[in-house]
Amino acid sequence: MIVVTGGAGFIGSCLVKTLNDKGVHDILIVDALGTTAKWKNLVGKKYLDVVHKTAFRKELVEGEYGAEIEAIFHLGACSATTEQNADYLLENNYRYSCDLAEYAEARNIRFIYASSAATYGAGEKGYDDRTTDLNPLNMYGYSKQMFDEWVLRNGLITKFVGVKFFNVFGPNEYHKGDMASVIMKSFRQVQESNIIRLFKSYKPEYADGEQKRDFVYIKDVVETLYAMLQYGEISGIYNLGTGLARSWNDLAHAVFAAMKRTAIIEHIEMPLGLRSQYQYFTEADMSKLKETRIFKPCLSLEDAVQDYVSGYLAKDYAHY
């Protein structure tokens, strides 16, 4: 049995689809569905059961699963970079991860977990996944950094795989609200007003809309996660992005092109509360993953946006 925490979420549900496509159906989904539309991500998927995240943690610690579990993809977390409750993030993102990791280590279970590019903070120390001395800008990023450090401190980095996701976008993110990708938000803006609104820059070295991020498509992400499961010798912490930073203006033009609309971009004020923790540039150093046999080049921003817009957003937000 393969456990996928956060299995009804964005990356988790797309991973379940990939596992199904590879013939894997013995999947236990761990999540908290609540009152969101997240459940729609599970429709059409093949799996054994859905277990609430709190119940699963309790049952796991009490040893109720025995030798059933072959691998754990630990993708579940609070991923809101604006979350202010540090105690909640410590418990939900850090201590929960420690419990699962201890269980996996004691039973030699393959453990692949989500770290985050948010650990790199403003990027003043670069985006090298061999570096651990980092300064996250928000508590979410710090909760991920804490677990990376815990894994390293306990000598588990030679057994586990940590994945630092950069700006992932694609189908099944529809329930994420404010945390959904700018691609999805831009699609809605064009539908409603024919305009895409982007934040102004508050640094002279970046023109408005020329802040850059490493945008990576969900289909490339889940194929890499599956390869990490398939090749058990892969271990360590890895960046997962395209390795090429692109501007928000590039992204907006890609959305307009995919929608066959004339580009009209408006640059607006950034909320004051966001300015102190805003990343102006992210770009995954992919050299470490390139040294493994699982590395595959990602789709370009334009090709990925075209697939997302035409295959999913334009089809009433079809699920993957």
Residue ranges, comma separated, of all CATH 3.40.50.720 domains in the chain are 2-168+215-244+284-299
Comparing CA positions, the residue from 268, 282, 281, 273 lying closest to residue 199 is: 268
Catalytic member of 96, 103, 127, 140: 140
Categorize the per-residue pLDDT at 276 as very low, low, confident or very high, splitting at 50, 70 and 90: confident
- Please tell me the distance from the alpha carbon of residue 104 to that of residue 97, in angstroms, as a whole number: 11
Q: Is 219 a known active-site residue?
A: no
Question: How does DSSP classify residue 9?
Answer: S
pLDDT per position as a tens digit, 182-204: 999 999 999 999 999 999 999 99
| Residue pointed to by tokens 């976008």 | 169
Q: Give me the helix-helix angle, 301-311 and 248-259, nearest 10°.
A: 40
Whether 299 has a pLDDT exceeding 80, the answer reads yes
Locate 225 and state its tokens: 């996660």
Q: How far is CA 187 from the centre of its chain?
A: 20
Residues of the chain with CATH 3.90.25.10: 170-212+245-281+305-315
Quick one: which H or E segment has residue 51?
strand 49-52
Percent of residues, the chain, with pLDDT higher than 70: 100
Strands (E), 92-250: 110-114, 161-165, 167-169, 196-199, 212-213, 215-217, 236-240, 246-247
> Distance between CA atoms of 57 and 74, rounded to whole angstroms?
12
What does the pLDDT read at residue 79?
87
**Is the pLDDT confidence value at 65 over 90?**
no
Query: Is the CB of residue 235 less than 8 Å from the CB of residue 159?
Result: yes
pLDDT of residue 277: 81
Whether the pLDDT of residue 66 is over 80: the answer is no
Residue 63 confidence (pLDDT): 85
Contact 246, 276 (CB under 8 A): no
The answer to whether the beta carbons of residues 101 and 73 sit under 8 Å apart is no
**Cα–Cα nearest to 140, from 73, 189, 92:** 92
Average pLDDT taken over every residue of the chain = 96
- pLDDT of residue 81 exceeding 90, the answer is no
127-142 residue pLDDT tens: 999 998 899 999 999 9
* Residue 161 and residue 235 in contact, taking contact as beta carbons nearer than 8 Å: yes
Both tokens of 58, joined, read 């309790």
pLDDT of residue 284: 97
What's the average model confidence in pLDDT over 254-259?
Answer: 98
Structure tokens at 143: 């909760």
Based on its alpha-carbon atoms, the radius of gyration of the chain, rounded to whole angstroms, reads 19
pLDDT, mean of residues 16-28: 98
Calculate mean pLDDT across residues 21-50. Answer: 97
Q: Which of these is catalytic: 40, 46, 176, 185?
A: 176
Return the pLDDT at 67.
Answer: 82
Q: How many Å apart are CA 178 and CA 170, to the nearest integer? A: 15
DSSP state of 91: I
Concerning whether 174 is annotated as a catalytic residue, the answer is no
The CATH architecture one would assign to domain 2-168+215-244+284-299 is: 3-Layer(aba) Sandwich (3.40)
Across 9-26, average pLDDT: 98
Determine the average pLDDT of the residues in 157-172.
97
Averaged over 101-113, what is the pLDDT? 96
Classify 73 as helix, strand or coil. Answer: strand
Mean pLDDT of the 253-266 span? 98
Rounded to 5 degrees, what are φ and ψ at 198? -120, 155
Q: Which fold has domain 170-212+245-281+305-315?
A: UDP-galactose 4-epimerase; domain 1 (3.90.25)
